[in-house]
Amino acid sequence: MDIGIVSMRYAKALIEYAKGTGAEDRVYHELRMLERSFRKHPDLREALDNPILKIKEKFALICTAAVGNGEVSREFSRFITLMLRNRREYYLQYICLTYLDLYRKLKHIGVGKLITSVPVSREVWERIRNSASTLLHAQMELQTEVDPSIEGGFIFDINDFRLDASIATQLKRVKQQFIDKNRRIV
């Protein structure tokens, strides 16, 4: 079965169930943390695909990845149990991503990522988030990342748009213009 179809069906069912019980915000936070765990620990996916692990062990692993030592919501617990019983753990990361996307659309939340060569202060982070929030007429989730290879300036991704004002990119453009100009002369 197609990954997109399966993940959309399960994510839609989960968001409707969570909305019905008023727990969509808590489930969102649990799935957001679980998705981060999938990204940071690729071996999590391998562990879930391991047929030797029992359902209880997989359940405990998923809950720990979602909330650490805390308690998971009833809705999350029931959903994960359903996934494991139906042997759909392979799709779990995709379902997380789909749920996060559906939730953000439902709650009008934009997603942004700011990449800089040095860490930004909390004040700058808040100003950028608030400005983007005002422009989009939506709440903003803003992640920051430090990447010294951009040499200065910033790269700002917001939803599906990228503003690249990094020194590294500007230098590449100047270099390319210089190469193109020299080709025309020769």
> pLDDT tier at 99 (50, 70, 90 boundaries)?
very high
55 and 85 Cβ atoms separated by less than 8 Å? yes
Q: Which residues of 21-54 are buried (b: 16+ CB within 10 A; e: fewer)?
A: eebbebbbebbbbbbebbeeeeebeebbeeeeee
Q: Which residues contact 176 (CB under 8 A, 6 or more apart)?
A: none
Mean pLDDT of 39-58: 92
Q: Per-residue pLDDT for 124 more than 70?
A: yes
Q: How far apart are CA 157 and CA 139, in angstroms?
A: 15
Q: How far apart are CA 144 and CA 124, in angstroms?
A: 11
Tokens 């909390």 sit on residue: 122
Tokens 């989960």 sit on residue: 14
Q: How far apart are CA 142 and CA 124, in angstroms?
A: 12
Question: DSSP characters for 87-135?
Answer: T-GGGHHHHHHHHHHHHHHHHTEEEEEEEESSPPPHHHHHHHHHHHHHH
Model confidence pLDDT, tens digit, residues 54-87: 999 999 999 999 999 889 999 999 999 999 999 9
**Considering the entire predicted model, what is its pTM?**
0.79
Q: How far apart are CA 38 and CA 119, in angstroms?
A: 25
